[in-house]
Amino acid sequence: MSYRYLLFNKPYDVLSQFSEATGSQASSDSPPPRTLKDYIAVPGVYPVGRLDRDSEGLLLLTDHGWMQHRLSHPRFQHPRTYWVQVERVPDDSALNQLRQGVAVQDYKTRPAQVQLIEPMLLPRDPPIRVRQHIPTAWLEMILTEGRNRQVRRMTAAVGFPTLRLVRVSIAHLQLGSLAPGQWRDLTSEELTLLERLSANQKL
């Protein structure tokens, strides 16, 4: 049986699902939230993991249920790379805290790779909140876990709130030149590496 694997660049303010969640209906003064069905007309595919409504970037979708379950399992510690715009410029102390792991709610995050970067990204639509005379900075954060709103909670815990969050890679899969709202099938090389990665992971 042939399965589909898609990469999608999820725009801001889009739900990582194909149907509107119960209880999330918009008021009569605002449109309903956009979902994956507004962009992807491929039957039977579902996202592997998710991105929050206010986050952007790379989402992997497939109709292969076994692979979806395996890649979503918490013990499958494949790296996820995020470009994170934060309020103010983190100092070495804050960066080292993020690298070593920080206490977030009732758990401590795993060690992460964190560095300051200057990415080339188009402005977000709508634009981020800007506070006059307060600078912003971009971080590249590579995590091996994906708890709910983890990146935002990590940066807030060290005093640098997240203003914009873009996932640019999942393991070897890269966002690349995909524009917001665009999707494509995995290449044969990408799929081979993905299957090899999942086969080598012991759960």
Nearest partner of 60 among 75, 70, 44, 71, judged by Cα: 71
Report the interhelical angle of 150-157 vs 92-100 (nearest 10°). 140
Nearest partner of 1 among 74, 53, 64, judged by Cα: 64
Dihedral Cα 163, 8, 186, 143, nearest 10 deg: 30
Task: Confirm whether 52 is a catalytic residue.
Answer: yes
Among residues 13, 52, 54, 63, the one annotated as catalytic is 52
Q: How far is CA 122 from CA 12, 83, 89, 125, 173, in A?
A: 12, 13, 20, 9, 20
Q: How far is CA 137 from CA 52, 71, 81, 102, in A?
A: 21, 31, 16, 20
| Residues with active-site annotation | 52
